[in-house]
Structure 1
Amino acid sequence: MARTFDDARRWARIGTELLVKTADLDDGGLNAPSALPGWSRKHLVAHVAANADALCNLVHWAATGEPTPMYASPEERLEGIEKGARLPAADLTGWLRRSAENLTAGMDALDDDQWLAKVVTAQGRTVPATELPWMRSREVCVHAIDLATGVTFADLPDDFLAALCDDVVAKRAKAPGPALNLRAPGVGWDLSGEGEPVELVADLPTLTAYLTGRADGPTTADATPAPTLGAWL
């Protein structure tokens, strides 16, 4: 589906509310493993909080024209996550809330011209500031699931899931992988790749979980397991 700027801002609000609520745990809960290998829930919460601060840098860039990178370096980024993971639960979740509020306030203050300003992401992509709400919505929505507290893709809006699948399929099309025909009620994607296309039919949350590497995926019509996918990001 063709996502809009207003869609992305709405999804960012929904995802932020869901993640903040999901992360409201004590030290015991946050020290438990997340769904991401090697990371506790504290690591994941610190990552999302740091992401909001980093996106605030890009909002500042768009507002002032002053180049302000998301992170000083990859090393600084990782050090910030490790430092955050050592914080007490109350301090860490406080950082998560404050950083999200600051990002929302910064984006709310941008005018039409500032939203069109070009900024550079941590991956080196030059994008208009209008891309920032989508970047944030993807971050908070997917990582709310990665906290592994019971939230699933079924808890997210269908239009977000369809837009996320569009995004993931476009990225996967540029890398080696299997050819897939993916079908959910009302939507579908054809992913070019190696070999004969494998058809997978499932509901939209199941396909989204598979495409983003959060689940093994549905079986084919003849009960063959879905092909294994490489990393998405």
Structure 2
Amino acid sequence: MKSREWTDVGTKLFLATLDGLADAELDAPSLLPGWSRRHVVAHVHHNAEALRRLVSWAETGVENRMYANPEQRAAEIEASAVLPAATLRALVTHSADRLAADFDALPAEVWSHKVITAQGRTVLAVEIPWMRAREVAVHAVDLDAGAGFADLPNDLTAALVADAVAKQNTHGNLPGLAAWLTGRTAEAPSLGRWL
């Protein structure tokens, strides 16, 4: 499954970008409004743990939501963002390794089981690696430390673009996006919250 490979590529880029930052540089702003680099690292760690809950759900059939509620997600990120840098680095590396091991151990027939995402979408478990690939790839760029979309394989970048376009479709933003992408307007449309 291609998304499983992309997960590894994105994780490698994210962790290499993080390794290139000194501890003091983690306090600097990220590309995400209101989030420091520490927040991004904390989010990527907790995202791995949340996706591990979905993998468990797919495997056991016992419902195990990513988060109990949006407040839990926000509280986890805020609490982890203030941890010592070494602890935060260890957490994000360890959770990435454990999620990869979970993916690799999942029996083939389980990938067709249904789970529910944090946004309330019912998806097949086979979508979980894509969810992770998207997170680590985009957030490697969000660290604002030299990694860019050009550092990703073209097919992964194309998949990210397709995913972003699909999301914009649900918000009714396609006409403005089409006008900009086809060169019919010089100004990009307002796309709202980040992916």
TM range (shorter): over 0.9
Instruction: Give yes or no for contact 2:168–2:174 (8 Å, CA) kept in 1.
Output: no
TM-score norm. by structure 1 comes to 0.78
* Higher helix content, 1 or 2: 2
Letter of the structure 2 residue corresponding to residue 15 of structure 1: G
Dislocated runs of 4+, deviation >6 Å: none
- Within 5 Å, which residues of 2 pair with 1:112-191? 112-177=108-173, 179=175, 191=178
Letter of the structure 1 residue corresponding to residue 98 of structure 2: N
Residue 79 (str. 1) matches residue 79 (str. 2): no
Comparing 159-168 with 126-135, which one deviates more in the overlay? Answer: 159-168
Q: Which one scores higher on RCO, CA 8 angstroms, separation ≥ 6?
A: 2
CA shift for structure 1 position 101: 0.6
Letter of the structure 1 residue corresponding to residue 107 of structure 2: D
Match of 2:12 in 1: 17
- Within 5 Å, which residues of 2 pair with 1:1-233? 6-24=1-19, 25-177=21-173, 179=175, 191=178, 197-200=179-182, 220=183, 224-231=186-193, 233=195
CA shift for structure 1 position 231: 3.1
Q: Gaps spanning 5+ residues in structure 2: where?
A: none
CA distance in 2, matches of 1:178, 1:46: 32
Tell me the percent identity. 51
What's the CA shift string for 1:60-109, capped at 9, x where partnerless?
A: 11111111111122111111101111111110010000000110111111
CA shift for structure 1 position 230: 2.9
Q: Gaps spanning 5+ residues in structure 1: where?
A: 1-5, 182-190, 192-196, 201-219
Comparing 107-116 with 19-28, which one deviates more in the overlay? Answer: 19-28
Work out the number of aligned pairs and report it. 194
C-alpha root-mean-square deviation of aligned residues, in Å?
Answer: 1.7
CA shift for structure 1 position 228: 3.3
CA distance in 2, matches of 1:61, 1:177: 34
CA distance in 2, matches of 1:55, 1:176: 28
Structure index of larger Rg = 1
